[in-house]
Structure 1
């Protein structure tokens, strides 16, 4: 349920930048912005309530009931009521900020600028030569409203205490064993929360620093305003806002992988191995793509048309060193998501250990093991993997 809310939250954060909406199209989907606030508050309350599963008191048991399908609707309703007050007091534009919509067809020409809520843009947009390679282009700028920073703090700071609680619980194995909790599961949840909160706090601190240094964003603070196109603060806000958005989305993706591992590792056969392989491959691909982008852009700025050379300088070593790099990312994924087995796999490992006590598997033992694996629903590939893992662990 939490992962569903997290995924929708990430979707609403990046929605306006995944497609070049026309002004009319943007006006028809603007309701997703207050909806993002509602999902953010709902997510925060769900994560705080998650702590109740690791506290054995009467009030904690009552809080757990909020996750029942017949009661879970209470959280989004409460979130809606919290958001409703600033919306009624300041209006949608005043609460969450207006959005500037600028269209540029050719460089050096005037652009077409409007705001989503119909207020005056305050300037005639220009189309800088800097972005000539991407014209025609649509630029959407989100400004800050009266409730924006407050909502960010409300939805972020309580999660710090959740992360601290999970970290302290993971360092207390006696309490974990006494209450019958799974220590590996708690450690996985702790890691997910710590990374999530770390990214979120980084994004929040970045937003606060930008607001303190350059003021709250507004529709006239864009790179297409002739008065601010070369302003350092506007450039910092444009880059910093995108980084803060990306940090939130990446933290959600990471938390989704870790939570999936923690929840399903003892239920879905081989899910931990698949998640580790997927995490390793994705991390390597992201690292490679970022390296190629930085190298090509750096060479392009030094030598016009030298982007291909920069890509070759980084790409060839990446290909040559892919095995050690993959090994590093594989070790990282194994640290974050240790090996885990379902109940059936653990039982099969016990049977295999007994059959392999003398270090040799004869034909009768092999037949018995194959039948046992079939009874447990373990396919041949997974069976060989488990046997290899067990043999590697034996002295």
Structure 2
């Protein structure tokens, strides 16, 4: 059977002369494209406040309907989250399927989710979004038989889900919350183990498609990591939803863990932020954040604000941060270039990686101590450990034992302080 091609009219309301309105609409086009929806037209309106019944004014509803028929569309996408009554009223007036920005993002997340945890997080967000909208969505499914791109194919938002009664959906929400709590406990255990091992954690955050996965992959390649450690990267919105954790070992034996988190977007659905909270908390416990920014985008400052606001919403505060201005090759800026905790790089060209590693090291290895140690010959285990886990700059064989000049992390310095001669 031939799959229905979604042809959409997008509708945007510019409230109180929002300076980021045009960019928000462009982003909506990209979100639709991520689901293979063909955008065939656009309708906008300037308002001081939204119409509680139809979101847009009555005259604008008529304009959308005429345009919809003329363009042979089969879907209308609004650039904001609509209330249950607004969806019902609009579908009745337009006689077609209406979805909002939130549904669009939820469907993208549903299709991109690969791990069991990500799938549960997305399903929870979908069900919480759907619960108050059951009546409107049920009518919509009766008319169109699905969601975007042929119909919400993934878990949690298909036609069968909407045939469930409210109680069953509430039960499913409770079960998902419980399961996710269990996963969160496991994640916390892993975090405690990392802290016990005293390996610093560097977490990559940023707007979707800023190049976070590319930065991670280039750092892995730079430090000689094998190919199968690379993470998925693609030039599209929300290419990856999974949290990737990789161990980076520098030539001087220093190590840190690099984690990659889900990207952000403006008007990220509240339910989704809450559902992904435990994933985003990876950043909260980091020793350093790398805030990756697409400096070639004229709206990059706005993207930085959105990222910072979302991080604050999940309790990520007071973590030292390095601003990594990526895609400098596409912008008229000097790169590689470092100015304090700001660095301009091109991950795609692998330009600025040495400088980035240096900036990271200056933060997470600041407490390292350079000292001389005299280790008796019967403590070869200590020499072996330090050669493996510390930066040994010089070694000589003395009458009383092995003399090492080494750079040690605080914990190792304290552990082997009996052998320390001077700093």
Q: Same fold by TM-score, threshold 0.5 exceeded? A: no
Bigger fraction of residues in strand:
2
TM-score (norm 2): 0.24
TM-score (norm 1): 0.25
Which of structures 1 and 2 has the larger relative contact order (alpha carbons within 8 angstroms, sep 6+)?
1
Bigger fraction of residues in helix:
1
